[in-house]
Structure 1
Amino acid sequence: MSGALAVIGLGPGSPQTLTPEAAAALDRADALYGYGPYLDRVPAKSGQTRHASDNREEGSRAAAALRHAAQGAKVAMVSGGDPGVFAMAAAVCEQIDRGDAAWRSLDVSVVPGVTAMLAVAARVGAPLGHDFCAISLSDNLKPWGVVERRLDAAAGAGFVIALYNPISRARPWQLGKAFERLRQHLPASTPVVFGRAVGRPDEKIGIYSLDAVDPSAADMATLIIIGSPLTRVIERPGRSPLVYTPRFVEGGH
């Protein structure tokens, strides 16, 4: 019996943003692995086992799922958003790279999902309309100095920046430091979008300027988009503003 592991993106949280491909992969699975709150998004199915673990146990979670698949089971590893964006697809690949040689012969697939920066951008218009990048503010897996250098480089090059993992109880200061650093490169009026829990009942969207943004308004469920010097806000009487980054850059054709 041949086992398989599917690493599945659940999207930002709303059932409407779960892709048909992801829904079918979940339905085929004998066992589900994942961070507890992500598993809670998946409806229970008779005969399907669940294996929840803590958010900081990505390596051991991936290894456990691979061991289970190697026994012949069809295993699904669930991940919020897209599994390839700061998520479980890389953790699974790392375990295959350094783990049991038999894992390399498993049928492994990655099923994409709507990542948070796309969901937040869609709520406010088109802030990612031109060149952009994504940076995780967590220093759990890389030094804070690397984060600072990447912020400097991205802002200095004119990228719109999406910030993942912006703040937590263990890291309450880093988002404020990141804004301080970005203010050295960007105009005070640069738009900043906070999108929390998009697609879920507690969704919250805020649009601020870089000089006035308050880091304490964010938590780990928040995705932050910092505009480039070209990003604009269109005020609309009686309606939410639109935020967009023009596709044309002076000197283009």
Structure 2
Amino acid sequence: MLKTFAELTTPLVADACVRLGVPLRPAPPGIAAVVPGHRLAGRALPVRHYGSVDIFLEALTDAGPGDILVIDNGGRLDEACVGDLMALEAKAAGLSGLVIWGLHRDTPELVEIGLPVFSYGRCAPGPVRLAEREADALVSARFGDHLITAGDVVLGDADGVLFVPADRAAEVLETARSIRETEREQARRIRAGDTLRRQTSFDDYLARRAADPAYTFRQHLRRVGGAVEE
């Protein structure tokens, strides 16, 4: 999955989801890689955190090669729920990364370990609470407004994290690749002096919109074969 995603970006994937009518499920703004430049792509391995790492160790017993641990810590900003030992354990289990709806700690060690970790940021204190575990603690994870299961894949880069249904992932990535090629050609032409306004026949769009106020730029882009927005 990471190899397939290698030449794509989350903005391209997001545009592909919109174009295909696949529900758009981004992680909340602010979730970012501990190490700038790190990327991840793989099947979601969901888990909910209640204050103890035992839930993570239990989740890893069902991990497959390349899975990504998706950790629901409720978006809390008062504790870190993952540090160096869990990152090392996840790496030893063959995971390709961790995505945390919350905070991490042991930042220098995480940088040294090299496993991609995405979170809201760093926090020195770990949890001192121990909440009651829910029945579906290893079945799904809340991540912002979204419920993530093993039926999802996770894609992350410098622009954030997206969750895509696994059964639509190949289609989404292929459409993202097509959008990328269109945008690359448009960018090449802009650099060569052919403005985006000329490429998209923007004057024609303005004339059509004047005649029909319901005519949108997205409709126009579909007609002329452009890719700027979805």
**If the TM-score is normalised by the length of the shorter chain, which range does it land in?**
under 0.3
TM-score by length of 2: 0.27
Larger radius of gyration: 2
| TM-score (norm. length: structure 1) | 0.25
